Amino acid sequence: MHRFANPARFLRLAAVVMPWTAGATVLLIAAGLFFGLVASPADYQQGDTVRIMYVHVPSAWMGLFVYTTMAVASATALIWKHPLADLVAKSAAPIGAGFTLVCLVTGALWGKPMWGTWWAWDARLTSMLILFFLYLGHMALVDAFDDPTRGARAAAILALAGFVNVPIIKFSVDWWNTLHQPASVVKMGGPAIDPSMLAPLLLMGVGFTTFFVTVLFLRVRAEILAAKIRAIRLTQVRGQGVG
């Protein structure tokens, strides 16, 4: 793991990995959209609105997955003082907030025709909203300090504290099962969803994941370059001060 603590090595790895993940993203999402929007049947109850699912559900998965990534990166940063882990956690937060927002917005668009309301105070919707606020809090805390390392360390502790919330979100369905339908992909006795709908859903899910990896690499690379620019500027300023 500490092999990648070296920024130069990470940048070389990113240059190799990113074209592949970017290409996979394009292919997977294109295939997922084709099977989701064209080749899959409309739901017998929900009609064509069911197709919102192919964006809504993967973005909900990603909202949780990105927070998990952040928590793992934060733990790595706190335990091993891994310099890149801080950057990973910092760069992942806005992406996760984006996925969560997409999930909330598509959920509202789906809820209007199905439930007759934009918003319902149901366990899963509410915990998704809480997750969104957790992301915002993390992003605000990272930027709240003059010293970037101080902000990174405080945010790492916050991410771990907030991570306690992620299982509550995942299992809240079973706790306060109300208006939202119970989990139907991962449950005992196999998925309760037709394979023709499951295939595009999984394609989109994997596509969203490779998209996340691509953007994460991009953002971490930008952070490393920004740190370099900052260092160069500082030496320039010092040089002028002496001269």
Partner 1 sequence: MALGATFAGVIRRELRLALRQGSDSIMVVTFFVLTVVLFPFGIGPEVNILERVSAGILWVTALLASMLSLDRLFQTDYDDGSLELLTLTPTAMEIVVVAKIAAHWLTTGLPLIVAAPLLAVLLHMDGAGFVTLLLAMLLGTPSLSLIGSIGAALVLGARRGGVLLSLLILPLYIPVLIFGVGAVDAAIHGFSPDAHLMVLGALLLVALPLCPWAASAAVRQAIE
* Contact set with partner 1 (CB under 8 A): 78, 130, 133-134, 136-137, 140-141, 144-146, 150-151, 153-154, 157-158, 160-162, 164-165, 168
**Of the two residues 26 and 168, which places its CB atom closer to partner 1 in the complex?**
168
Which residues are 47's β-sheet partners? 43
Q: CA 118, CA 195: separation in Å to the nearest integer?
A: 29
Residue 152 · residue 90 · CB < 8 Å: yes
**Helix/strand/coil for 43:** strand
Rounded to a whole number of angstroms, the minimum distance from the CB of residue 148 to partner 1 is 13
Rounded to a whole number of angstroms, the minimum distance from the CB of residue 105 to partner 1 is 19
**Of the two residues 14 and 125, which places its CB atom closer to partner 1 in the complex?**
125
**Of the two residues 4 and 145, which places its CB atom closer to partner 1 in the complex?**
145
Q: CA 145, CA 68: separation in Å to the nearest integer?
A: 24
Rounded to a whole number of angstroms, the minimum distance from the CB of residue 56 to partner 1 is 22
Tokens 């499951």 locate to 198
Contacts of 136 (CB under 8 A, 6+ apart): 97
**Of the two residues 80 and 133, which places its CB atom closer to partner 1 in the complex?**
133
Rounded to a whole number of angstroms, the minimum distance from the CB of residue 138 to partner 1 is 9
